[in-house]
Amino acid sequence: MAGLVEVRSIDVVPDSERHGTAFSQFTLWLGANLQITAVVTGALAVVFGGGAFWSVVGLAVGNLLGGAVMALHSAQGPRLGLPQMIQSRAQFGVKGAIIPLLLVIVMYVGFFASGSVLAGQAVGELTHLGETPGIVIFALVTAVTAAIGYRVIHVLGRVASVVCALAFVYLGIRLLERIDLGTVLADRAFDLPMFLLAVSLSASWQLAFGPYVADYSRYLPRHTSARATFWWTLSGSAIGSQWSMVFGVLVAATAGDAFLGGQVSYVVALGGTGLIASFLYFVIALGKLTINVLNTYGGFMSMVTSISGFRGQKTLSPRGRALYIAAIMIAGTVVALLGKDSFLTSFKDFLLFLLTFFTPWSAINLVDYYLISRERYDIPALADPHGRYGAWRVDALAVYGVGLLAQLPFLVTHFYTGPLVEPLGGADISWMVGLVVPALLYWLIARRRTAHIPERTILAPQITPPENSGATPTDATAGRP
């Protein structure tokens, strides 16, 4: 058990502890996306007015676009051996990185809560204890799994990818026996706002993985191909999410209020009763456990990163790790219990609102990594506010702020609609603006200020990557996706 429990937290993973292959990213992200919340996300495209055919197309576009951005973050993991948000200190400063980090922590708590609502229904039915005890039990199991860490998370992903795939094949067959697929997809009337809503829903789903996706690739050997990491991550995440979301579209388009009244119970009833129903409740809980563990683990990493930037902390004790994870679990469980009765509307607004804050961060991080720093970082300096990256990078923080503000005129949520939405026919294009504007601004500013960039990646004082690591200035871009 001692060898199974992870000892690393925000510190760099040494080459001697690296293991695995890029294919592990496929099974992890396939398993993480073949789950009930992705089904509900796809269903939202229809619930809020879209037709089935163009909803499917829009979701595919969003999954590919958002998934590509997310997979570019994943490719950073093997090169640096660091959690994703620690590396953000190179762009925002050792202390300045706390600004996007605080929003990331809110995201983790929100996704933990939304996952717990649906998983709690499944656990409650499986144990016959009811929804509220089901939410609490699920939260406890999630916290224990996240505390064990990286190895068990990947094992869980491999198991979930097989079990959930088989369950979705079975459920798909059962669904197609009940509906006329040609009739469901017959309406080809194109509605731009609804199409862009579908794109935004799936893009936001994918982009929200960006702040922690490298956390699960950082143990791969440093020489792991960036292309392989990129493509295995993208394919696992895009296939899993599109599979789940298309199922959600077809269910929502044919079930109507029966699905809206109880998403979990409807999906299970579609599969059958008795032992089959019990198995499907288990599958739903397993799928949600996979992604909720990722959210809890990522939340703990982000909290440690935020606090350590001010305390100068580089490592974390097992007790401290458990306390951080417990904090995420408690906060997420409270939100789940308070919001379980208004899940669908709240979750849609939550997804689209989160997208506003993560797209500028993704744009800045990726431009810096691939175009400005070109994969060269001084890793020890990421813990030193007096080092080459400083405490606050005002230029990057200003670009981040501009990226946020630039999206507001185009944003559509239940509680706020921007002034330029109506001239666009009600379409939400804020996430596109949030990627393009800060990416361009940061590139224009940062390319003139490169004195802080080392000639090659620095792992520790007087230690540099091996010659075949792929991190030298001449081959820093080799294998880039």
pLDDT at 254 over 60: yes
**Which of 271-285, 302-316, 382-396 comes out lowest in average pLDDT?**
302-316
Q: What is the pLDDT, as a whole number, of residue 460?
A: 62
Percent of the chain whose predicted confidence (pLDDT) is above 70 = 89
Burial track 402-434 (b if 16+ CB lie within 10 A, e otherwise): ebbebbebbbbbeeeebeebeebebbbbbbbbb
- Decide if pLDDT at 472 tops 50: no
Q: What is the pLDDT of residue 303?
A: 81
In a domain, 479, yes or no: no
Q: Per-residue pLDDT tens for 176-185?
A: 999 999 999 9
On whether residue 468 sits in a domain, the answer given is: no
Contacts of 30 (CB under 8 A, 6+ apart): 157, 161, 165, 236, 237, 239, 240
Is residue 305 situated within a structural domain? yes
**Statement: residue 461 has pLDDT above 60:** no
364 belongs to a structural domain: no
Identify the domain containing residue 37 by its residue range: 15-359
Task: Determine the average pLDDT of the residues in 76-101.
Answer: 89
**pLDDT recorded at residue 463:** 42
Phi, psi angle pair for 230, to nearest 5°: -60, -55
Write down the mean pLDDT value for the chain. 85
Interhelix angle 275-311/150-178, rounded to 10 degrees, is: 140
| Domain presence at residue 473 | no
In the chain, the amino acid numbered 381 is A
How many structural domains are present in the chain?
Answer: 1
- The string of pLDDT tens digits covering residues 91-105 is 999 999 888 888 878
Rounded average pLDDT over 426-440: 88
For residue 6, being part of any structural domain is answered with no
CATH of the domain at 28: 1.10.4160.10
pLDDT higher than 90, residue 300: no
pLDDT at position 398: 96
**Mean pLDDT confidence for 258-264:** 74
* Closest to 363 measured CA to CA, from 445, 435, 442: 435
Residue 52 reports pLDDT greater than 90: yes
Instruction: Give tens-digit pLDDT for 316-370.
Output: 667 777 888 888 888 888 888 876 666 555 665 665 677 688 889 999 999 999 9
Asked if residue 161 has pLDDT above 70, the reply is yes
Give pLDDT, residue 441.
Answer: 96
Are 20 and 150 spatial neighbours (Cβ–Cβ below 8 Å)? Answer: no
Q: Are 126 and 283 in contact (CB under 8 A)?
A: no
Tens digit of each residue's pLDDT (9 = 90 or more) over 405-415: 999 998 877 77
- Is residue 87 within 8 Å of residue 365, measured between CB atoms? yes
Domain contains 130: yes
Where does 391-451 have alpha helices with state H? 394-407, 430-446
Residue 261 lies in a domain: yes
What whole-number distance in Å separates Cα of residue 452 and Cα of residue 460? 16
The dihedral built from the CA positions of residue 197, 199, 203 and 205, taken in this order, carries a sign that is positive
Q: What angle do CA 289, 292, 296 make, to 5 degrees?
A: 130
Rounded to whole angstroms, how far apart are CA atoms 420 and 60?
A: 26
